[in-house]
Structure 1
Amino acid sequence: MKALAFYGTRDLRMEERAIPVPAEDEILVRTRAATICTSDINDLKYNTFGLPVSTIMGHEGSGDVVSVGSKVQNIQPGDRVTAHPVMPCGKCDSCRRGLPHLCDDMTHLGLNKGGVFAEYFCIRADRVRKIPEGMDYALASLMEPVCVCLEAVERAAVQPGGNVLILGDGPFGILTAKLVQSRRPGCVVVTGRHDFRLKHATHAVGINEKAAPDIQEAILAASGGEGMDSAILCAGNAQAVNTAIQCLRARGTLAIFSVVSPMPDIDLFRVHVKELNLCGCCNDNDYLDQAIQLLADPALRLEEVITHRLPFAEWERAFHLAEFGKDEALKVTLTFD
């Protein structure tokens, strides 16, 4: 099979690999769609998670089941499935505490197990879901991104009628802006720097930071002066942390959904006097079934997040668009015949 393998920063290579053989609790999937994640771009730029050389990358994928391991039930060859890349060990301290998504010894597609940027991949059977009839493979490949965005919405304590601030107009920011609509919030504000992306945040007020003389004033004005109950940081911008803190109402919550660099100076006095809540969000605590339901909801228009679908052979163009096409692209999906 053909596969995209990591050989160092800025060094991704298409090469021939043997088709993997599923273990007794795994299935072999013929890839039909594999979507590029921001973390894939960051791994190629910085190798954030320490990928070993020759790792097959990619973790947002869907396809057709080819074969199943001896212990697999309820999944059979021919089923259309979408994958969740995180495979908890079930034995470590975090798993025993009911936090398998923060597993201390997890297996993860594209990090320490062959990923979905290949014509075939193997995954544990409990970490896939069948694709509903009528849903295409590209949209289904967004199951895991939707899952982690739901974790951010949950951690940010988004409530019906609550005002929500999303900082960052990248794919996760726009996807989160669409998903919060399922919570029936009050005002939703998305900040960013690209009009093309901001216009995809349907049902939200988009604020281009480059056009706003004072971003905090613009956010507060968009909320009618009320301020925000929840803020979700979807941009690795240190200044955005304090923008969120300044715009939160008393007892508001800021969920950190992005790596922030450099380390920000935080206004802890305001955190103190407003009794604000600061929390992290990473991976998700098993929102697979909910994610599938939301992907199938036409009112959320989640398919709009996928702006480009390119054949696997055009992977170099696809990665260039995903990294640099901020005025023309959001999610870029590789498709397989």
Structure 2
Amino acid sequence: MPNPALLNTAPAVRPRNIRAVVVTSPEEVALGTRIAPDCGTNDVLIRPVVVGICGTDLDIIDGSIDPEFVRYPVTLGHEWSGVVVEAPAPGAGTSHLSAGDRVVVEGIVPCGHCAPCKAGDTNRCENYDEFGFTRHGAMAELLAAPRHLVHRLDRGVSMESGALVEPAAVVIRGLLRASPQPGERILIIGDGTVALLAATIIQLWSPGHVTMLGRRSEQAALAATAGVDSFETDPERISQDFDVVVEAAGAADAVTTAVASANRGGRIVLLGFPGHGVTVPLPIDDIVNGDLTMAGSFGYTSSAWAHVVALLNAGRLDFTFLVTHRYPLAKFAEAISALRHSTGQRGKVILDISSEDGATLLG
């Protein structure tokens, strides 16, 4: 667990330099130092405590992400929770934040002025900007963020759950597009963090049955904890009568399976990202004759983010069980390797910025 002493203690003097994991260019990543962030009058200075690592971070390191969505050099870290070091006085319509408050920060920084932002579609802001992609992220000792993007976590919410708000907001935004109904049959394709979050969050709609089609049998126990009723690794054992199909594998063949597995009138949500430029043939007649609805879902909106935080603070969600691997910042390379090459059960891999201890495998 994070060091409790570090959760509530602000440094007396702001450091000039901080440690950070920076990708200077594709395939060039290292832990080094950079100048501490500037903190404007409307910014909150935050000490990251728990930072998750995901497949998109690997894409940034590898240089395989769509170049429209990344700007090198960049500090990694878009899934995280932290503790307030300095906060401005509250403005109109904002709540007070104090040093020591546990918080999460929306990663997408919407301009608030373009047509999508005004319509609430902040994920499609025409002036794309995001922590860990186009601006420095949280794999560092300090981060400054605009006050209106900062959300307080209640004391009963674990910092690990906070670090998973970002992917959970992605999931809940996608699920809302599928309009699940109580008693429906759900198929989740994939067995990584996003798929496991989807299995956890879909329980809010009281599904009739949840099946997960994964790639590794070692994930079955985590899937069961998430609420999955049946775990399969063979697509041939999957029926074709699911009301809602969530593709969270990020693979071309998973999209084909998703279309084949939906019943007539079914809804398919694509959350996975197979890589820039990847294509897949689609049986158009099956989609039309099946009266299927397919929806891609990019990122999350500010409202989806706030929804997840509210559910966590109300005690209706808890993602702590998903964290299986924990590393200190100095061992970031081991954490990246664990994500790339893990064997056995693997949920979320995190960096514990508050710890200098050795790596821990949980569960």
Instruction: Please give the TM-score of this superposition, normalised by the length of structure 1.
Output: 0.91
Task: Work out the CA distance in 2 between the residues paired with 1:90 and 1:326.
Answer: 43
The 5-angstrom pairing of residues 43-54 of structure 1 reads 43-50=60-67, 51-54=70-73
SS in 2 for 1:159: coil
Residue 309 of structure 1 is matched in structure 2 by 326
Residue 150 of structure 1 is matched in structure 2 by 172
The code of the aligned residue for 1:313 comes to A
1:273-296: CA deviation from partner (whole Å, max 9, x where unpaired): 111001111112222333124445
Task: Work out the CA distance in 2 between the residues paired with 1:118 and 1:43.
Answer: 17
Task: Work out the CA distance in 2 between the residues paired with 1:90 and 1:198.
Answer: 42
Residue 15 of structure 2 is matched in structure 1 by none
Residue 90 of structure 1 is matched in structure 2 by 112
1:308-332: CA deviation from partner (whole Å, max 9, x where unpaired): 1211111111111122215332211
Counterpart check, 1:204 vs 2:228: yes
Residue 259 of structure 1 is matched in structure 2 by 273
Match 2:191 to one of 169, 176, 179: 169
1:128-179: CA deviation from partner (whole Å, max 9, x where unpaired): 2111113232221111111111012112222111111111111101111111
CA contact (8 A) 1:115 1:121 kept: yes
The 5-angstrom pairing of residues 273-284 of structure 1 reads 273-284=289-300
Task: Work out the CA distance in 2 between the residues paired with 1:100 and 1:23.
Answer: 22
Residues 207 and 135 of structure 1: is their aligned pair in 2 closer, same or farther, counting only changes over 3 Å? closer
The 5-angstrom pairing of residues 220-231 of structure 1 reads 220=239, 227-231=241-245
Residue 9 of structure 2 is matched in structure 1 by none
Residue 247 of structure 2 is matched in structure 1 by 233
Percent sequence identity is: 24
Task: Work out the CA distance in 2 between the residues paired with 1:92 and 1:304.
Answer: 39
Q: How far off is 1:97 after superposition?
A: 3.0
Residues 44 and 139 of structure 1: is their aligned pair in 2 closer, same or farther, counting only changes over 3 Å? same
Task: Work out the CA distance in 2 between the residues paired with 1:326 and 1:191.
Answer: 18
Residue 11 of structure 2 is matched in structure 1 by none
Task: Work out the CA distance in 2 between the residues paired with 1:24 and 1:49.
Answer: 33
Match 2:138 to one of 116, 121, 129: 116
Residues 199 and 297 of structure 1: is their aligned pair in 2 closer, same or farther, counting only changes over 3 Å? farther
Task: Work out the CA distance in 1 between the residues paired with 2:254 and 2:151.
Answer: 36
The code of the aligned residue for 1:61 comes to W
Task: Work out the CA distance in 2 between the residues paired with 1:196 and 1:206.
Answer: 14
Match 1:243 to one of 250, 257, 270: 257
Name segments (4+ residues, structure 1) moved above 3 Å. 69-73, 205-208, 293-301
CA contact (8 A) 2:42 2:146 kept: yes
1:7-59: CA deviation from partner (whole Å, max 9, x where unpaired): 22222111111211222221110111111122111211234143333211111
Residues 59 and 179 of structure 1: is their aligned pair in 2 closer, same or farther, counting only changes over 3 Å? same
CA contact (8 A) 2:161 2:318 kept: no
The code of the aligned residue for 1:270 comes to D
Aligned length: 327
Task: Work out the CA distance in 1 between the residues paired with 2:280 and 2:213.
Answer: 18
Match 1:57 to one of 71, 76, 81: 76
SS in 2 for 1:282: coil
Residue 158 of structure 2 is matched in structure 1 by 136
Task: Work out the CA distance in 1 between the residues paired with 2:108 and 2:128.
Answer: 7
Task: Work out the CA distance in 2 between the residues paired with 1:3 and 1:109.
Answer: 14
In structure 2, runs of 5+ residues without a counterpart are 1-17, 355-363
Counterpart check, 1:324 vs 2:341: yes
CA contact (8 A) 1:36 1:333 kept: yes
RMSD of Structure 2 on Structure 1 (CA): 2.0
Q: How far off is 1:297 after superposition?
A: 6.9
Residues 297 and 201 of structure 1: is their aligned pair in 2 closer, same or farther, counting only changes over 3 Å? farther
Residue 200 of structure 2 is matched in structure 1 by 178
CA contact (8 A) 1:155 1:280 kept: no
Task: Work out the CA distance in 1 between the residues paired with 2:75 and 2:106.
Answer: 16
Of the structure 1 ranges 292-301 and 170-179, higher mean CA displacement relative to structure 2 is found in 292-301
Q: How far off is 1:270 after superposition?
A: 0.8
Q: How far off is 1:118 after superposition?
A: 0.3
CA contact (8 A) 2:222 2:347 kept: no
Residue 19 of structure 1 is matched in structure 2 by 36
Task: Work out the CA distance in 1 between the residues paired with 2:28 and 2:230.
Answer: 36
In structure 1, runs of 5+ residues without a counterpart are none
Instruction: Please give the TM-score of this superposition, normalised by the length of structure 2.
Output: 0.84
Counterpart check, 1:99 vs 2:121: yes
SS in 2 for 1:14: strand
CA contact (8 A) 2:50 2:80 kept: yes
Task: Work out the CA distance in 1 between the residues paired with 2:119 and 2:157.
Answer: 35
Counterpart check, 1:2 vs 2:26: no
